[in-house]
Amino acid sequence: MTSKTALIFDISGEYGHFRKFNTTTSPLTYSLPTPSAIYGVLGAVLGIEREDSLNKIKVGKEHLREVFSNSNASVAIRPLSEIKKVNIGFNLLDTGSYQSFFNVTNRTQIEYELLKDPNYRIFLNWDHRLRNELIERLKSKRFHFHPYLGLSQMSANIEYVGEKELSEVPNNYLDFSTAINLSELDTENAPVDINFIKERVFQVETFPLDMQTDRTINRYGEILVEMNGDSIRAKSNKKSFAIASEGNIQFL
């Protein structure tokens, strides 16, 4: 870990959509925001502008994926409520061959899978010169750009919780309040307590976990989440920690 503490904040909204990489005409959403989506939200808070269409940033500016790189940042994600999904049709316009918006006649309707009333607690372990500025902006809600949950019309509410110390945990089966990365659990036995699974509702999704500045993915993980916001009993690993009043968490 880059530091011995975690910044904790809640992010919620009316709707959210974090598009799965393997969907096309009917976009499906992840059950949780991906790490890159969380870093995008924090980039909006700090005012870090996105790259242009040529993947270039302004001279003298640091790229978002360098500010939140795999070497200096990691996140853990805890659902604070049941994860609900709905399907809603979006009316899309084909503007490619028109010079004026009002002349567009080619329209199509695409059904999107959306998260309904998403609500998550984010644990951020991060070591960067902008750390104190991020804390101040989260506390005061002084966001440079307005944050959103995947799509620009889906506004995000952010509530700063605090900064708390990380404590080591024993190498054993523990109850985790966050989603866990099955790909990081190196054990000869079952990574998750099989009997415990019978009492919960789970979903496993393949997450992109490490995105580079050119948008290539260096690392994927099989992420297990409990869909009702309950705990997961799994084997701990080197990314597992305990936080006072928060229980055990695992960074992805």
Question: pLDDT by residue (tens digit) across 206-244?
Answer: 999 988 777 788 889 999 999 999 999 989 999 999 999
pLDDT of residue 57: 67
Closest to 33 measured CA to CA, from 191, 148, 141: 148
- Find the mean pLDDT for residues 2-23: 90
What are the residues whose beta carbons fall under 8 Å from the beta carbon of 23, sequence distance 6 or more? none
> Residues 59, 49: contact at Cβ < 8 Å?
no
Structure tokens at 224: 């297990």
For the chain, which domains are there? 5-250 (3.30.70.2660)
Q: What does the DSSP assignment read for 154-173? A: SB-EEEEEEEEE-EE--SSE
pLDDT of residue 212: 79
pLDDT of residue 51: 62
pLDDT of residue 199: 73
Run of H or E residues at 192: none
**What pLDDT band is residue 18 in, cutting at 50, 70 and 90?**
very high
Q: Output the average pLDDT for the chain.
A: 87
pLDDT of residue 60: 61
Question: pLDDT by residue (tens digit) across 100-138?
Answer: 666 666 778 888 899 999 999 999 999 999 999 999 999
pLDDT of residue 213: 76
Q: Is 142 helix (H, G, I), strand (E, B) or coil?
A: coil
Closest to 38 measured CA to CA, from 163, 184, 208: 208
